[in-house]
Amino acid sequence: MVWLQTFVTAAEEGNFRRTAERLHLAQPTVTMHIQKLEALWGVELFDRVGRNVQLSRAGRRFLEHAQGILARYTESVEDMARWRQGYEETIAIAVSPLIATTFLPRWIRGFTYLHPEIEFSIQVTESRQILQNVLEQKSDIGLTRLDVTHPQICCEPLYDDPLVLVAPRDEHDFDGPPRRALDILDQYTLFTHNHPEYWRDLLVKLRNISPTLRTMQVSQVHVCLDWITEKMGASFLPISTVRRALLRGGVELIPFEDFKLPTAHTYLLSPKISDGAASKFITFISEYMAARPFYRRDV
């Protein structure tokens, strides 16, 4: 296996010296590993070009096999490590950044307490990519902010998230009147497009009441919150994403009554037929959210 790793690394580096440095080996050891493989197969795997090397025809043919063997070996090592730790199944989840930093940790913590034999593999990605992950079976479950219609996928609404106007905290105004939303929109740049659904229609309405509105597209909610704390701007965000920032005290909620704000939605994507650990986790999530009326869709 060590010979194969040396061969694959040399193919990537195109130089035995860099290969030795990367693998923390002596350069003669790298040469010896390659020579042993060449003797085993009776072919030359590299053509020497000055101080560099490049794969020969035989080397290019063998590279795919070597990579496959190493990948399977790594998978077997990881699988045995999980087995030794007591894990029997793995739930692979594709999740949007907003959900990954709000409800997902609570779901995993509660579920793991009940099922310590089940582990999780988390892929944080944008909502538009999550459907494809589930379709290609890279993920057992998808947690997304986008509604999905697909014949092979079940899209279950999980919860609704009210929007709130979030602004930097005024640390000097302790007993003054409440800050007005229009004053906030006039004073600060509005960070937009941190959610895939509601910004287009929301901006049209906001420009009707604040024609001089200044905006900046910032795609990640956690960046918006950090920048709001730094007094760089304000934004409309789902309430679940700002609770921690409110506790830290760097931001505050501004009452908004000029029109009814939209609601952010969260959906759970899964194959039409789910079983095993994934099915258990889906049931757990649904029951968890049903016990929290503030986020229920029918309230």
The answer to whether residues 177 and 246 belong to one domain is yes
**Confidence label for 101 from pLDDT (cuts 50, 70 and 90):** confident
pLDDT digits (tens, 9 = 90+) for 45-85: 998 888 888 999 999 888 988 888 888 877 776 666 666 65
Kindly tell me if the per-residue pLDDT of 233 is higher than 90: yes
Provide the 3-class DSSP secondary structure of residue 92: strand
The answer to whether residues 145 and 166 belong to one domain is no
The answer to whether residues 11 and 144 belong to one domain is no
The whole-number pLDDT of residue 204 equals: 93
In this structure, are residues 218 and 191 in contact, taking their beta carbons and an 8 Å threshold? yes
The answer to whether residues 71 and 138 belong to one domain is no
Among 37, 61, 84, residue at a domain's last position: 84
Strands 233-238 and 153-168: antiparallel
**Paired tokens of 83:** 């087995």
The answer to whether residues 201 and 68 belong to one domain is no
Strands 233-238 and 189-192: parallel
The answer to whether residues 48 and 70 belong to one domain is yes
The whole-number pLDDT of residue 247 equals: 84
**Confidence label for 298 from pLDDT (cuts 50, 70 and 90):** very low
pLDDT digits (tens, 9 = 90+) for 8-48: 898 888 888 898 988 898 988 988 999 988 898 888 999 88
The distance from CA 77 to its chain's CA centroid, rounded to whole angstroms, is 25
The answer to whether residues 275 and 141 belong to one domain is yes
- How many structural domains compose the chain? 3
**Residue 122 belongs to domain spanning:** 89-159+266-295
The answer to whether residues 186 and 144 belong to one domain is no
- CATH, residue 31: 1.10.10.10
DSSP 8-state code for residue 96: -
The whole-number pLDDT of residue 286 equals: 86
Helix (H) or strand (E) holding 181: helix 181-187
Look at the pTM and tell me if it is higher than 0.95: no
Kindly tell me if the per-residue pLDDT of 151 is higher than 60: yes
**Confidence label for 189 from pLDDT (cuts 50, 70 and 90):** very high
The whole-number pLDDT of residue 295 equals: 56
Among 19, 49, 84, residue at a domain's last position: 84
The answer to whether residues 43 and 58 belong to one domain is yes
The answer to whether residues 250 and 172 belong to one domain is yes
- CATH, residue 202: 3.40.190.10
pLDDT digits (tens, 9 = 90+) for 174-183: 555 678 999 9
The answer to whether residues 80 and 103 belong to one domain is no
The answer to whether residues 167 and 256 belong to one domain is yes
